[in-house]
Amino acid sequence: MAPGLPSGERTTFTLLLTGDVRGEIEPCGCEPPNGGLARRVAAVRKYRAEGPVLVLEAGDALAEDVHRLDGERARLILDAMAATGVAAAAVGEIELAFGVEWLKKSAAAAGVPYLCANLVDGSGRPVFPGRKILEVGGNRVGVFAILALDRDIPEGLALTDPLEAARAEVQALREEGAELVVGLAHGDGREVNRIALEAGADVIVPAHRRGTAEVNYLRSWLVSAGNEGRFLQVVRFDLRGEGQLVSENVLERLELRRREVETRLEAGRRQAEEALSPEKKEEALVRVQRLERELEKIRKDEELLDRASGRRFFAQFVKLDGRDGEDAEFSRRVRKLVSRQEARAP
């Protein structure tokens, strides 16, 4: 239970997501420069000061790719993940490239808990835990992780069917009392979509996808975690109501589109009435019919995603542009590591 909350009382909370960081530890060379470990640590601490926070990592954090592995850099990234209080991290193909024993030892030393429900050894035993339940703001949040890529898996390991594993974890988490189930789905788009549509989680966080919230009405919401550490995905949850989980992002987009279509529909009807020829009138009527069909669909979607359900979230990417400052320790450690590596470069 969150400190200061009476037993059984729930409040809103913030989910912070990262993923596909690809070994980036400094701000990007873009304009303005975004990202970097020191800024991420400072930003997460700011959010923690504002209220209950849960931090998750969707995988592929520790190196640029499986062929460019740097243990020193990876350990620094793990330390930064621990400093942000990452509660669960998905195993990606890049993490596995370091070797299971290295990953387990280094993650344990830093204090970063990795999950992967469908990675097994030669005897069929799970290599990592598949799920965990976390309490934030008085809410019980179940988290599981799936690796849905069949490439770059080290010899002696295998992946079981990701959808079957996801279904099993979702069921177990529900039985264990999870009020919200979040899946970290590390894989290609086809497999992630299959898991989102059929596993039964509330939210699926893919590592290899950009964007904010996508529509999967009455199934899982897809909320991506960004890339190269340039942003934080900030998701505000309010689970104090009843019914289905609703995306405020989608409701806002539907409302804006409905207003636009209503305006165009009114103009189209006026054009049909004022048309000076049968041909112009027919063209206007065709547009009106198309807009009427679109308006009907939007209204049905709005009805389906009833804001009054009370269980809702709003997601937005926040640039790590330095406005929240930089953590002094990680700023120093990053500069030191970069200088040392530059000095060793040929």
Cα gap 175→142, rounded to integer Å? 10
Same domain, 144 and 22: yes
Q: What is the pLDDT of residues 115-128, one digit of tens each?
A: 999 999 999 999 99
Would 29 be classed as within a structural domain? yes
Q: What is the pLDDT of residues 301-330, one digit of tens each?
A: 888 777 666 789 999 999 999 999 999 999
pLDDT score for 346:
67
Same domain, 301 and 173: no
Same domain, 169 and 277: no
Same domain, 336 and 279: no
Q: What is the DSSP string of 23-68?
A: T--S--SSSS----HHHHHHHHHHHHHHS-EEEEE-S--S-SSTT-
- The yes-or-no verdict on residue 2 having pLDDT over 60 is no
Q: What is the pLDDT of residues 232-244, one digit of tens each?
A: 999 999 998 888 8
Would 6 be classed as within a structural domain? no
Structural domain for 128, as ranges: 13-243+310-344
Same domain, 190 and 100: yes
Q: What is the pLDDT of residues 7-66, one digit of tens each?
A: 458 899 999 999 999 999 999 888 888 999 999 999 999 999 999 999 999 999 999 998
- Residue 325's nearest CA partner among 14, 21, 49, 29 is 49
Would 3 be classed as within a structural domain? no
Buried b (16+ CB within 10 A) or exposed e, 7-20: eeebbbbbbbbbbb
Same domain, 170 and 125: yes
Same domain, 209 and 338: yes
Enumerate residues 6+ apart whose C-beta is below 8 A from 256: none
Cα gap 242→10, rounded to integer Å? 13
Same domain, 231 and 281: no
Residue 38, domain CATH: 3.60.21.10
Same domain, 275 and 226: no
* Count: domains in the chain: 2
- DSSP state, residue 126: B
Provide the token pair at 73: 């850099």
Q: Which residue has the tokens 């206007």?
A: 284
Quick one: what percent of the chain has pLDDT higher than 70? 93
Same domain, 317 and 303: no
Provide the token pair at 96: 């596995």
